Structure 1
Amino acid sequence: MHRNKAMRFKKGTGLLLAFGILLSGCLGGSLSKNNSGEYKNGLVVSAHPSSSKVGLDILKKGGNAVDAAVAVQFALAVVYPGAGNLGGGGFMVYRSASGELATLDFREKAPGMASRDMYLDSAGNAITDKSLYGHLAAGVPGSVDGMVKAHEKFGKLSWAEVVQPALDLARKGFPITDSQVEEFTELQEEIKKYNPGKSYFIKEKWEKGDLWVQEDLAKTLELIRDKGREGFYAGIVADQIEAEMKSGGGLISKEDLKNYQSQWREPLVGNYKDYKVITMPPTSSGGIALLQLLNSVEEYPLRRWGHNSDSTVQVMVEAERRVYADRASHLGDPDFYKVPQKYLVNPIYSKYRMQNFNWDKATLSSDIKAGEVPKESEETTHFSIVDREGNAVSLTTTLNGGYGSMVFVKGAGFLLNNEMDDFSVKPGSPNMYGLLGGEANAIVPGKRMLSSMTPTILEKGGELFMVVGTPGGSTIITSVFQTILNVLEFDMDMQAAVNAKKFHHQWYPDVVTFEKGGLDTLVRQKLEKKGYTFKDRRAIGRVDAILKTQWGYYEGGADPRGDDTKMGW
């Protein structure tokens, strides 16, 4: 796949999707697939109608939010192959009805045979395609182990009950959507290129409503249903993964699969005014960056200035510029690098970082470096779930690029990730999102690559308030940041907050990208006179979120930029 196509799928920007955004009209308009309002007994918001239905069915069956999350994760691996996965990884933030918090890191790892300079040529230049496409781009998958651990700790229904719906979807088939017709059609040649001798995805003509049956994937899910973790990381599937690696020059071994373990981590908790923010610690950069952004703007009167006013945009862009500079230098896998987490999320540090902000002109990114601290991914998918008791799950999962490495595991029917590109392939060189990285995120065998995924839960007055997250690569952090502010500062309901046009700045390149039509012409002109450079683009993120209203009902926001759907009862 050409780079521009890969970026397109990572950002979820098909022509039909962009047209859908234009139809949304005013910020408060809703294009959600379900506009029936509020729900009392539970709500699922995910990237595909079939996966949302699976989650809702599990809740109605008596399952809790984690049961539904596991079922939705496996269902997405069937119905949403661009990002849903068995061959990828992700992060989960959990809050029980009683206030218990947990965060699970099931991010992929570098294979044991990986090396620091594996994507450099003899002159030391980065060979970007090697970390983006094909067998060498894949890290050791974490999704199945993550779901096993989440279910073991918090699940209520049996393991077989939560895996079976995905197995049924794979074996019986499901009707593909309009946007999938477009994507599958454009992917044909690329899939053929990286999968010689395989027929996955290949069809003379895809049409809306085509029933897609995946028998090999069904067999894999059957093994996972019957054998749990061993059904994926050992036995037949492990043999198939290793054989696939050998056939294409990849590095993942059966030993890597056997040794992989997801990890429970201490939740990252901060505050924004009267709200408690519970989010993901490293190896996600998203949680630290989100708290930094909120800390950076908290003292400014955003509510008085208004949504996307020149002052609001300027303050938020300057905060983003500084936070992404810190991300490049200070964040990595905490099992390999001592992340100065407490220092970075301290509100005093954020105020210090904003001291050189000048209202009269844009700060040059070349003048911004990472802050001094003491020595101590875009086609993703997100779903939010709340159950009848009030347990909540915010889970973001990915293959990294749209359809990952493009490589299907022969006989197993699932795609492998291209997460190795999320390492600093060469410190100081940008990855596919244009993000710069440093030594903290250099490739080391067994190390987890840095991520921007930002699954987040908010409390107010000790009660559940919001569950939020999004795909979008480097735009994930800023999309979650803006969605939260849309509710807290600009009084939008959940669907309007999700629908609202978004913008993004990430230090380098020194450009502010804005969803087309999202910035008033006069506001744009004012900021351009101060030295800000803007570039229009299509969809930013696909936020799926839940808000608990003051009356105790759950209000969903399903992003109209995709096939995202909210279903509750």
Structure 2
Amino acid sequence: MTVALRWRIVLLGAALVAAPAFAAADQAPAQAHAAAASQLALRPGHAAIASANFLATNAGFEVLAKGGNAFDAAIAVASTLSVVEPESSGLGGGFMGTLHIAKSNRNVFLDAREVAPAAVNPKDYVNPDGSPNRDASLKGPLSAGIPGEPAGLVWLAKHYGKLPLKTSLAPAIRIASDGFKPDPRLLSSIKGEQKNLERWPASAAKYLPNGKPPVEGAIWRDPDQAHTLELIAAHGDAGFYHGEVAQKLVDAVRAAGGNWTLADLANYRAKERTPITIDYRGYHIITAPPPSSGGVAMAEIFNILSGYDLDKMDKAHRVHYIVEAMRRAFRDHNDYLGDPDFVKMPLAMLLSPYYADGLRQSILPDKATPSSMLPHGPTHDPGMHTTHFSIIDKDGNMVAITSTVNYILGSTFVAKGTGILLNDEMDDFALVPNKPNVYGLLGSKANAPVGGKRMLSSMSPSIVIGPTRTAVIGSPGGSTIITQVMEAVLHFVDGQSAQQIVADKRFHHQFLPDVVDVEDGTFDPATSAALEKMGYTLKPRESWGFMNVVTWDRKSNTLDAASDPRRPSGLGKVE
């Protein structure tokens, strides 16, 4: 019997293995559930918001001051980010959100992910030689899925907000109309994508005034997006998915070679789904279900880690077991997962502690498992230029929302007369089976493009409830979203503050390529040497997501908010 075959038998038989290690290590799911239930009687009395831009954080507090709740504030934050941080998110993209409704002590997941247009044709994304056509999947109208963010914001207002939509959208409308000073990251993004922006007249008109990128310190206005926001404020869904804006979107897309129809827009719906829940060491984690792969992957990682006492390990062995859990979770997550409306998934197996116990038995104590030794499972990545914000309001309502347009400035295509920069989320599908996407990662048939289907994501907005503390956590960062949020949860379990969590150095493994991405300063020389001796290849990585975290110490009834120091324009604020 070959070594590879032995690995395959161990892993594929894992769901049938008993789990004494899991039962011993993770003793407190009942305690975690009790802590979660106890929140019904608690209220912080004040609020905290952390986002990637101070204008967005302040917009959220402006709406709270007018009598809004966390969901109204989320509308203000997201719509303001659409104006001031278009390189990462916006009305032309989509979001995923984990919500806690304090009054009913209920948790829901809001899926406002983009969908493929009905006329999607995989042949449009393939070159004559059979290779992926990255220009079609990343730039211009063919790269854009039908946006979900407007519908998601309207859903929040209708079902959970306290204020009229026009009140929650007012800060974004004002900022777009009166203007703001772009931060250095937006200016750099425009400069970096200048050649692509020049391809589309409306894109050039918006982002390249007088034919050049905006200069630092200049006031930049966005009257077309202000008008679109006003229509949404007045008419809700109809202000975007019907009428004037819808017609302009379709006309612009089709004139430039795309295939959207008015029916695609009219048929879009945001959807509520049941969150994934995970119990780990007395902490209850509420996170993203499919079509995000994040929650399932994190559940697999935490289920594997629950069999170890990480606190008693030296740094190298702690990292070793975390990396091996990451490796196995990423091996599985995109092989099986996709849009639950289109794909049947073995969630019971993937979420089972018994399956995790079998995976754990395949991990050697002092040696890395080469990914080539594991049964192959393709992976996929949702883009690096995403954003996340976290909110807790005075009544204990919580919002964790991760929003994206995928790559830098999305498709770089602006629909004339709307101010809307479209996403390039079509590249998140497995457009060419077993061919890597822009991030060098593979896709599977579970994530193949079909009209009306949501592309798989790694967005992992999460709420974590411990015995005495609660956290709202999320991050952008492509496939590293999953591992960054997972590491943040581990740090929260270890007792770290919001400021410590967002500043912690990070590492990442995603099965393929078989390397450990490492942020500078994560490991000391001795730890790096020990990991390399175990067989790991450590690779420096500079690009990490900008995490935003809010915590609530329920014992002292104090809130804390922190924005990632890697993004100086971000703001975590408590009032």
TM-score, normalization: structure 1? Answer: 0.89
Listed as ranges, the matches of 1:4-153 within 5 Å are: 41-98=46-103, 99-153=105-159
Equivalent residues of 1:435, 1:474 under 8 A apart: no
Listed as ranges, the matches of 1:348-363 within 5 Å are: 348-363=354-369
Which residue of 2 is the match for residue 465 of structure 1? 470
Question: 1:342, 1:118 → 2: CA distance?
Answer: 36
- Structure 2, unmatched stretches of 5+, are 1-43, 378-382
The alpha-carbon deviation at position 193 of structure 1 amounts to: 2.4
The alpha-carbon deviation at position 329 of structure 1 amounts to: 0.7
Which residue of 2 is the match for residue 254 of structure 1? 262
Closer, same or farther: CA 197–147 of 1 in aligned 2, 3 Å:
closer
1:482-527 CA-to-partner distances (Å, cap 9, x unmatched) read 11111213x3211111101101111111111101121111111111
Closer, same or farther: CA 366–501 of 1 in aligned 2, 3 Å:
same
The alpha-carbon deviation at position 370 of structure 1 amounts to: 5.8
Query: What secondary structure, in the 3-state scheme, does the structure 1 residue paired with 2:328 have?
Result: helix
Give 1:411's aligned amino acid.
G
Give 1:512's aligned amino acid.
V
Question: 2:441, 2:194 → 1: CA distance?
Answer: 29
Question: 1:367, 1:223 → 2: CA distance?
Answer: 55
Give 2:246's aligned amino acid.
A
Which residue of 2 is the match for residue 5 of structure 1? none
User: Which moves more between the two structures, 206-215 or 504-513?
Assistant: 206-215
Which residue of 2 is the match for residue 7 of structure 1? none
User: Which moves more between the two structures, 271-280 or 348-357?
Assistant: 348-357
The alpha-carbon deviation at position 153 of structure 1 amounts to: 0.8
Equivalent residues of 2:560, 2:573 under 8 A apart: no
Equivalent residues of 2:516, 2:537 under 8 A apart: yes
Question: 2:463, 2:339 → 1: CA distance?
Answer: 22
The alpha-carbon deviation at position 454 of structure 1 amounts to: 0.1
Give 1:101's aligned amino acid.
N
Give yes or no for the alignment of 1:497 onto 2:497.
no
Query: What secondary structure, in the 3-state scheme, does the structure 1 residue paired with 2:414 have?
Result: coil
Query: What secondary structure, in the 3-state scheme, does the structure 2 residue paired with 1:325 have?
Result: helix
1:83-102 CA-to-partner distances (Å, cap 9, x unmatched) read 12001011111112242111
Question: 1:404, 1:124 → 2: CA distance?
Answer: 24
1:188-215 CA-to-partner distances (Å, cap 9, x unmatched) read 3321124468411114463333211111
Which residue of 1 is the match for residue 322 of structure 2? 316
How well do the aligned residues superpose, as a CA RMSD in angstroms?
Answer: 1.7
Equivalent residues of 2:328, 2:511 under 8 A apart: yes
Query: What secondary structure, in the 3-state scheme, does the structure 1 residue paired with 2:198 have?
Result: helix
Q: Which residue of the other structure, out of 537, 542, 561, is the alignment partner of 2:541?
A: 537
The alpha-carbon deviation at position 310 of structure 1 amounts to: 0.6
Query: What secondary structure, in the 3-state scheme, does the structure 2 residue paired with 1:118 have?
Result: helix
Listed as ranges, the matches of 1:442-521 within 5 Å are: 442-461=448-467, 465-489=470-494, 491-521=495-525
The alpha-carbon deviation at position 464 of structure 1 amounts to: 6.5
Question: 1:427, 1:323 → 2: CA distance?
Answer: 20
1:154-209 CA-to-partner distances (Å, cap 9, x unmatched) read 01011111111111010011122233333333333321124468411114463333
Give yes or no for the alignment of 1:403 onto 2:409.
yes
Question: 2:186, 2:202 → 1: CA distance?
Answer: 22
Which residue of 1 is the match for residue 8 of structure 2? none
Listed as ranges, the matches of 1:53-452 within 5 Å are: 53-98=58-103, 99-195=105-201, 198-203=204-209, 204=212, 206-305=214-313, 309-369=315-375, 377-452=383-458
Question: 1:210, 1:122 → 2: CA distance?
Answer: 45
The alpha-carbon deviation at position 119 of structure 1 amounts to: 1.4
Query: Sequence identity, in percent?
Result: 39
The alpha-carbon deviation at position 530 of structure 1 amounts to: 1.9
Question: 1:66, 1:475 → 2: CA distance?
Answer: 27
Give 1:298's aligned amino acid.
S
Question: 2:443, 2:504 → 1: CA distance?
Answer: 30
Closer, same or farther: CA 197–456 of 1 in aligned 2, 3 Å:
closer
Query: What secondary structure, in the 3-state scheme, does the structure 1 residue paired with 2:557 have?
Result: coil
Give 2:492's aligned amino acid.
V
Query: What secondary structure, in the 3-state scheme, does the structure 1 residue paired with 2:343 have?
Result: coil
- Structure 1, unmatched stretches of 5+, are 1-38, 372-376
Equivalent residues of 2:560, 2:574 under 8 A apart: no
Equivalent residues of 1:83, 1:403 under 8 A apart: yes
Closer, same or farther: CA 181–115 of 1 in aligned 2, 3 Å:
closer
